[in-house]
Amino acid sequence: MTQTMAVAKALNESLRKALENDPKVLIMGEDVGKLGGVFRITDGLYKDFGEGRVIDTPLAESGIVGTAIGLALRGYRPVVEIQFDGFVFPAYDQIVTQLAKMHARALGKIKLPVVIRIPYGGGIGAVEHHSESPEALFAHVPGLKVVSPSNSSDAYWMLQQAIECDDPVIFFEPKRRYWDKGEVDVAALPGDLHRAVVAQQGTDVTLAAYGPMVKVCLEAAAAAANEGRSLEVVDLRSLSPIDFDTIEASVRRTGRLVVVHEAPVFYGAGAEIAARITERCFYHLEAPVLRVGGFHAPYPPARLEEEYLPGLDRVLDAVDRALAF
């Protein structure tokens, strides 16, 4: 039952499976219906499931999320697409003050099984507001679960698990990985949605990453191996909650940790990971926990984005600094 799929196709098949399995699952967003989404993630679903379940909405993110909250209150499982990362902010109030808090406000009597899909990150040569990495803003909010797949298999299974979850899930999709292909076992039993995995074993330094940066870290591990260095790569997969146990186990083996993400380093997810692992692994660390990420500056024009985005050289430079201690 193993198939080769691009990440975009895996997401499409995952949505199709969810629509088939549960008549309460709805898809809604800008151009998700007849067009099939700007990245064609919902391609063919409008034709096969109809306008009552794959719904083209107005250009109004706050209204889209507010409507999804109302539908969830009536027993539906809405899957919202935010067309681009930078477009989510008009809906931020609905997400933070309503979606994230309703369960606690109702003392557990109300559940809001809403998934908000957000294509995020750079690397596609887009214009302003189309290459943001706002995941830390959502991971900071209690009541939200935040996840990001890095490969086709996780894209397929994690999206279905998010849809089945009774809590609101912000599902960040690394858009520059949409066309990367990988193996998907559609008959497998998926693991824990919020469990990190060791993507590659190593002994000298742990690289912890998620979403688009996992591939960069695997490339860094391959390059380091040519120099006789062994890097372990941990794919975090989930940012809220974070599986600190898996990171800790890896750091206890390697003694060094470099956290890599595309978002700015300043107040990024790496800061929380660095602080927590320093507390939990203080006597096992051979070097300070280092972070690699974007600069604390607005995302640049397309011609400069390769200078902004963390790449192989910046990751390997951090590895060198960690090993120098």
Q: Are strands 181-185 and 2-6 parallel, antiparallel or unpaired?
A: antiparallel
Q: In what order do the strands lie in the sheet with 205-209?
A: 197-200, 231-235, 205-209, 257-264, 290-294
- How far does CA 185 lie from the centroid of its chain? 20
Q: Is 270 exposed, middle or buried (0-12, 13-18, 19+ CB in 10 A)?
A: buried
Q: Annotated catalytic, 296? A: no
The residue annotated as part of the active site, out of 103, 130, 140, 284, is 130
Q: What is the DSSP letter of 96?
A: I
Query: For residues 157 and 237, is the Cβ–Cβ distance under 8 A?
Result: no
Give the closest residue to 196 by CA, choosing from 207, 206, 210: 210
Pairwise CA distance, residues 216 & 13, whole Å: 26
Q: At what angle do helices 244-254 and 269-280 cross, to 10 degrees?
A: 60
Pairwise CA distance, residues 62 & 165, whole Å: 22
Which residues does 111 contact at the CB level (< 8 Å), separation at least 6? 72, 103, 166, 167
Pairwise CA distance, residues 224 & 207, whole Å: 12
Query: For residues 94 and 62, is the Cβ–Cβ distance under 8 A?
Result: yes
Residues labelled as active-site residues: 130
